[in-house]
Each structure stands twice: as C-alpha cells, then as structure tokens.
Amino acid sequence: MASKVSLKAGKGKVVKKSAAADEEEGSLAVAAKFVKEWSTWTMKKAKVITHYGFIPMVIIIGMNSEPKPSLSQLLSPV
C-alpha cells in the first residue's frame, strides 16, 4: 500500500517569523504571479502575431528585394 505524506506544521522545530518576513514573502508571491500571468499573456499574443503575420512578412520582404518582382511572380509556384 502507498503511504500518505502529511504536511503538518506541528512536527519538528518551530520557527517564528516576523511580520516583515511574512509581508516580503507575500509581495514576492504577488510579483511572481504577476510575472507568470504577464508572460503567459505575452506568449499567447506572440503566437497569434506569428501565425497570421509570417506569410505577409515574407511577401513584403520579397517585394522589397532586388530585382523587384511583381506580386504575381511572388505568389506563383514557378
């Protein structure tokens, strides 16, 4: 049978924390949550921009290259 892990605070040495330490840990947790949410939001937006912007970017770069091709020459498979 699998043993259950207990995370009770009553075992071991008890260490008292000051109010400033609790406040600092709380602010760090809030900052970590903010960074995680912001990075997730940023990555989702970057994925959408990359998905819909890659082909138009290739066409624009191709049209600005030398020799200057027409749009039909850029889009034709030959």
Could you please report the per-residue DSSP string of 17-46? --HHHHHHHHHHHHHHHHHHHHHHHHHHHH
Q: How many CA atoms lie within 13 A of 66 on its CB side?
A: 0
Q: In the prediction, which pLDDT does 12 show?
A: 57
Q: In the prediction, which pLDDT does 23 show?
A: 65
- Per-residue pLDDT tens digits for 20-78: 566 667 888 999 999 999 999 999 999 999 999 998 998 888 888 888 888 888 788 77
pLDDT band for position 19 (cuts 50, 70, 90): low
Q: In the prediction, which pLDDT does 59 show?
A: 85
Q: In the prediction, which pLDDT does 3 show?
A: 63
pLDDT band for position 16 (cuts 50, 70, 90): low
Q: In the prediction, which pLDDT does 8 show?
A: 58
By CB atoms closer than 10 A (0-12, 13-18, 19+), residue 53 is: exposed
